Structures are given as C-alpha cells and as structure tokens.
Amino acid sequence: MPELPEVEVLRRELEPFLRGKRIVRVEIRDSRFGFPKEAAEGKTITGVRRLGKYLLFGLAEGGCLALHLGMTGKLLLVKANTPQKHERVDMLLSSGEHLLFCDTRRLGKIAFLQEEEELSEQLGLDPLSPAYTLENVRALLEGKRRLKDFLLDQRKICGIGNIYASEILFRARLHPERTLSSLSEAEKARLFVAIREVLEEAIQERGTTIRDFRRTLGEEGNFQHLLAVYGKSHCPSCGTPIVRKVIASRSTYFCPRCQPPEGKGEPLMQE
C-alpha cells in the first residue's frame, strides 16, 4: 500500500502541474469509484494537498476531491490515446493531458468533500505538519497498546503503513510488541525522531516500489533499495537473522538483538 512518502511524492509532482488546470471531462469506468461528476467537471484545480495517505485536490468553485490509493492505486499523467491497465477514473485536463486513476485490486477511493474538515477530523497527527511535535506525540504514547498497533492507527498518527512501521521501529531500536506505557522518555524521543527521519528519507528517494507504486510518469521509487529490515534476511547492523512475525494482522520485520522485547536496544548511530 502506498504510504505517506509515496503519496507525498505524487503530491510534489502533481501540484505544480495541476494548479490552474481545468477538469474538462470526467469518465468513471468503474462504479465503485463513482462520485458526482458535476462536482469536478468544469472546475479549476487550485492546488494539491496531502493529509496522511490522502491526496486533496482543491477546486476553485469550492470543495475538494479526496483520493486514497488503497493497496494498488496509481495516479498517472498521460497524453491522449495512451490507455493504461486497470483504469478506473479518467480526468481530461484543459492542457490536453489525462489524469488517470488506475487500481488493480479496486480498494482505492475518490470522494467529493465540501470541506476538508470532513476528513481531517477523522485523522491524527501528520508527521510532516507543524503540529507534529515531541510534546504532542508524547501525549499519545499512553496505555497498553503495542507499538505496531499504534503506528498503524491513522487516528493517532496518519500516513504510516506496514513497511514504514517496521523501518521506524528498527531505527528507534524498539520491539514492535512493546506497550506504549513501557516506553521511557528517551525511547519516546527516539520514536518521535525515527518517524520523521524515515519518512523524510523515503520521500527524498521518491518512495518505495516493491510491487505496485509508480510515480506520475510511471517511474519506480528507490527507497526499496535502502530498506533495513522489511523483507530482509539479516540485520544490517549486527548480522542477526531478521524475524518475520504477524503483528496487528500484518507481516512485521525486526531484529531480535537490536530490538529486544525488554527494551534495551541501543539507538542506531547514523554515519
């Protein structure tokens, strides 16, 4: 599933191109992705924002289109007469290009919102927003929930999915089954830093392409070559075999030596 870095990469590529473009025509080719065409046709795009894993296309006439890529969604900018596999929605732009939403497994979604607050009120802190502070994160790290469950909860911190949860916990040297209440103040600070560091590094590498993610012109990301534990066999720091375990109903990867359950893992030193 595309996570915050992949969606942010798309936003940065799309925003300067789409700003000021008019949506001439909308073709919905799969009823699962239906939204009122009249809400978008003839409307001018004022900009593209991101909130967690959502892209928000602001419309000059009011409201916005909110798009979630699901597990296999892609947003592609193409010329006319260049059909793509699994097209679900086709938006013809005033510049002549088509913005295509393609989705193999059909788990993505597009909706028209009158106000962005309809979405933002359902989501937690965005790690790239000014509200992402150590104080605000510390306030969330209470209770008996496991770290992995917490990181995947979009109502707490939005944008993190399965791949980056494993990478973040390895960077912070924290076992995924540690409870929030067991964390020391130093460990909370490590987690806070690791979340932003890992996500920002992935953005700089244009995201992670393991199977489906593609940028707007079809290119792959590069961060898959820099993953430390996700899908790996041995720890890059100590050489210990990586453990794969289902936690929070998802495959989770961690180093049992660098991320011990009793919480004595050392911080990862950056070169």
Contacts of 245 (CB under 8 A, 6+ apart): 176, 251, 252, 254
Active site residues: 2-3, 53, 250
Give burial (CB, 10 Å; 0-12/13-18/19+) of 21.
Answer: middle
Concatenated DSSP letters for the chain?
---HHHHHHHHHHHHHHHTT-BEEEEEE-SGGG---GGGTTTPBEEEEEEETTEEEEEETTS-EEEEE-TTTEEEEEE-TT---TTEEEEEEETTS-EEEEEESS---EEEEES-THHHHTT--B-TTSTT--HHHHHHH--SS-BHHHHHH-TTTB-S--HHHHHHHHHHHT--TT-BGGG--HHHHHHHHHHHHHHHHHHHHTT---SSS---TTS---SGGGT-SSTT-SB-TTT-PBPEEEEETTEEEEE-TTTS-TTS-PPPPPP-
> What is the Rg, in whole angstroms, of the alpha carbon atoms belonging to the chain?
20
